[in-house]
Structure formats: C-alpha cells, structure tokens
Amino acid sequence: MARISSAFVGSRLSSSHRLSYCLIVMFVLGLPLAQCQLEKMYIDLTDIHLLVDETRLLKLIQIGEYNTSLQATSYIQHPDIVQFVPSVIDIPGTEEPNTTAEHAYDICAYGKSPGHSEVTFNVTPTGFVNLDSVFLRVTVMHSNAIYVISYIMGWIYFVAWSVSFYPQIYINYKRKSVVGLNFDFLALNIMGFTMYSLFNCGLYFSKAIQDEYFTRHPRSLNPVQLNDVFFSLHAAFATFITITQCFLYEREDQRVSMTGRGILSAFVGVVIITASLGAADKIAWLDFLYYCSYIKLCITLIKYVPQAYMNYKRKSTVGWSIGNIFLDFVGGFLSILQMTLNAYNYNDWISFFGDATKFGLGLFSLIFDIFFILQHYVFYREGRKLMIDDSSDEGTSMMSSGAGSDYFLVRTWDADEKKYDLEAKA
C-alpha cells in the first residue's frame, strides 16, 4: 500500500485513475467476501427414500441476496427413477441485497420407479454461487416393509456372526482341550480380523484418511459404520481368546503348519512393505488400508480349508464346534437374502451380481458351512459315538471315537465332583 500511495503523492489523479484505483482496492478487499459467498445454497436433505408414486417436499435454502436474478437447475442422473418439480427455480434479484437474508424454495421429489439416483444442481449465471459439492441421493423402492425387514436382517446376521465365536470357546473350556481345532484356521483368522480392524478403524476414526477417501469419492458415504468397527474388533478379541486357550489346554502336538506359516509370512511381508511405502509418502494411507482389506478377502477364501482337511484326516469333527458353523450359516444366509431383497426393492440387480466379491465370499462361506454340517452329521457321525471299554479296574475307561479314528478319549471318574472328566489322547 505504501508503494501505491507514493506513486500518487504530489500528483493530481484523474477521475478515471481514481475509479481504477477504487476498483482494484475493492477487488483485493472483496476476495474474502466473494469466498464467503460461495456455497450459500444447500438442500435441507441429502438422502431421501421414496416409495414408487410417493412425493416428498424438499427445500432449497438460499442465504444472502443478489442484485442479479439467478436460476437454480436440478440435474437428475436417472430421470426415469425420480422427477423434480419444478426442475428450474427462479431466484429474483434485489436492488439492495441483504447478505444475511434467508430464503427457502420448495421442490417436490416424485418417485417414478425403483432405483438409486444422484441429483446435482447448477446456478446461472455463473460466478455467484458454487454448488459443485451440493447434491442429493434419492432412493426409490417398491416396499417400505421390505426395507424394514432388510434392516432387521442386517442386525440379526450381525449378532449371529458376533456370537458365533463363543460356542468354540465354550467347548474348549468344557473339554479343557483344543484337540480337533485346527491351528492354521486360528492363525489365518486372527490375521484376517486384524487387517479388517485396521481398515475399519482407519476409515472410521482418522480424519486424514477420511479426507483422502472423500477426495476420491466426493459423493459417497463413509463405507465403514460403527457396527463394522465393533464387529471386527470383537472378532479379533474372540479369536485371541481362543488362541490363548491353545496355550492353556491340552493340544497334543498340534501347531501351525509350514504352509500356514508361509502364507502368513507372505501377508505380513505385504503389510510391512505397504506400510513402509505409506510412511515414505510413496502411497496414500488409504491405499495401505485397501491392501489390508484385500488380505482379509484372501484369508476368508482359504481359512476354512485347513479345518475341513483336518476333519477329513481324523474322520471326526470332535473338538470343532458345530454351533459356530450354524451361527455362521445363519449370518451368511441372511446376508445374501438381504442383498436379494435390496436388489428387488431397488431394482438394483446390477449391483447384486456386480459385487462379485461380497456375493462370492458369502456364497463360498455358505458352501463350507454346509460341508462342515455334512461332515458332522453325515460323513463322520460315527466318530461322535463313544464305545466304552469297561475292562479297566481303575477309575478310567478307554473310549474309541469310532472306526478309522486316530485318537481316543480317556474318561476319568472324579470322586469329589462325582462326574466323569474326558481327555483326548492321540
């Protein structure tokens, strides 16, 4: 300002020079004001759910007045799904604009057919209001009852999956043994749920990672909700409790196989390398979390194989909780059923078949659950029938698990507790 002032000292400015100087000062000083006036329009709702042929009243809120008439136009992604009336809103100008005045304009949203559609807005003439970040998500559905049922199903399978860890923990505690529980399965499980917890916690709690996500997907919701965080942390904790039981109870010579160790080492290597790249700013931390989620998906595909093979070798499912399988089956079945109901309700079969990962993993888990049920009740049911040898004169009896088994159980009478204690022996 001193340099500008000195240029004019001692000289008489013409009126045109004075006007130019005033315009420059107004422009410089007016930059913050122009910035403040951006995004002074918004919709009072950002997500709405409509039934077919239902209408919903929305409001376009304008803060501040302008000396120029404006037109706000809605642009609908899928006009066959939803219709806005009116599609263009005229905003009259005023000679004496009030920057704090607030005006509301009614918009009627009409659901035409099931589906999802985004709605954006634009204001002409340009330069007055920036509505690039203002949008609306509209969901039109067949039935509100199906929506409620789907919501309830979501909580049921969330609870079923959360509780499914405890039958195995209880069986281990009751038997004081983990013989029959495959350690590769446990090792893969703890790795998978740890990666899943990192992904969920990072996207839910880290503001920086959320900013990265919304920069890439500006019109998306956070894919991680609080129940996702709770489930992953709880699953990792329950698996850790089960692993702790392996150090406290009888386990014989069971251990993580060399194949399992190799797979886990490869996954750990991926985590270390991607975390190092993230620390060196070579990749975004959001990408690191994506790699963690990919590891979880891979583990979900392979984690049941070691337990199924172990049951096959032993010709028995003793020590492996069938309650865990039933709950997992209920959760997986309801999850796929929910996807089916949502696809019908929103006429969104493309996302149903397009999300091959989620659908494939759910179907893959169901297939393994059915296979475990067949192993337990059909293939190796004889393995659960104990044949007692009463020839022992002492307080023990030898009990075979059935033909083809490579282990036996020792039943010992506890005179103080007046009950039999069972212990598995190879």
In a domain, 98, yes or no: yes
pTM: 0.70
- Cα radius of gyration rounded to whole Å, the chain: 33
**So what's the pLDDT on residue 398?**
43
Euclidean distance between CA atoms 167 and 306, whole angstroms = 19
Task: Say whether both 197 and 291 belong to one domain.
Answer: yes
Euclidean distance between CA atoms 24 and 33, whole angstroms = 15
CB atoms within 10 A of CB 20: 12
Number of domains present in the structure of the chain: 3
Euclidean distance between CA atoms 405 and 61, whole angstroms = 74
| Cα distance between the two ends of the chain | 92
Question: Closest Cα to residue 285, out of 197, 210, 394?
Answer: 210
Q: What is the mean pLDDT of each run of 10 residues along the chain (426 residues)?
A: 42 44 42 44 86 92 86 90 92 86 91 90 81 81 92 90 94 93 95 94 92 79 83 95 95 92 96 95 93 91 92 90 92 87 84 61 85 91 52 42 45 55 54
In a domain, 175, yes or no: yes
In a domain, 89, yes or no: yes
Task: Write out the two tokens for 54.
Answer: 């239902």
**Residue pair 45/136 in contact by the 8 Å Cβ criterion:** yes
Max CA separation in the chain (angstroms): 126
Task: Say whether both 273 and 366 belong to one domain.
Answer: yes
Task: Say whether both 111 and 171 belong to one domain.
Answer: no
In a domain, 17, yes or no: no
Q: List Cβ neighbours of 211 (8 Å cut-off, separation of 6 or more).
A: none
**So what's the pLDDT on residue 162?**
92
**So what's the pLDDT on residue 325?**
92
**So what's the pLDDT on residue 47?**
87
E-strand ranges in 53-93 read 55-63, 70-76, 82-85, 88-91
CATH number of the domain that residue 128 is part of: 2.60.40.10
Task: Say whether both 164 and 298 belong to one domain.
Answer: yes
Task: Say whether both 198 and 345 belong to one domain.
Answer: yes
Q: Which of 141, 170, 188 is the last residue of a domain?
A: 141
Task: Say whether both 367 and 311 belong to one domain.
Answer: yes
Q: List Cβ neighbours of 299 (8 Å cut-off, separation of 6 or more).
A: 188, 189, 191, 192, 195, 267
Q: How far is CA 353 from the centre of its chain?
A: 18
In a domain, 28, yes or no: no
In a domain, 329, yes or no: yes
**Residue pair 212/281 in contact by the 8 Å Cβ criterion:** no
Q: Which of 141, 160, 194 is the last residue of a domain?
A: 141
Euclidean distance between CA atoms 135 and 60, whole angstroms = 11
**So what's the pLDDT on residue 21?**
44
* 198, 268, 278, 287 from 212: Cα distances, Å: 16, 24, 13, 10
Task: Say whether both 77 and 107 belong to one domain.
Answer: yes
Q: Which of 141, 171, 195 is the last residue of a domain?
A: 141
**Residue pair 224/204 in contact by the 8 Å Cβ criterion:** yes
**Residue pair 192/300 in contact by the 8 Å Cβ criterion:** yes
Task: Say whether both 195 and 339 belong to one domain.
Answer: yes
User: Hey, is 271 helix, strand or coil?
Assistant: helix
Task: Say whether both 359 and 235 belong to one domain.
Answer: yes
**So what's the pLDDT on residue 57?**
92
Task: Say whether both 70 and 150 belong to one domain.
Answer: no
Buried b (16+ CB within 10 A) or exposed e, 92-115: eeeeeeeeeeeeeeebebebbebb
In a domain, 264, yes or no: yes
CB atoms within 10 A of CB 238: 20
Q: Give me the domain span that covers residue 265.
A: 145-382
In a domain, 12, yes or no: no
**So what's the pLDDT on residue 347?**
85
Task: Say whether both 377 and 392 belong to one domain.
Answer: no
**Residue pair 200/232 in contact by the 8 Å Cβ criterion:** yes
**So what's the pLDDT on residue 160?**
92
Task: Say whether both 405 and 282 belong to one domain.
Answer: no
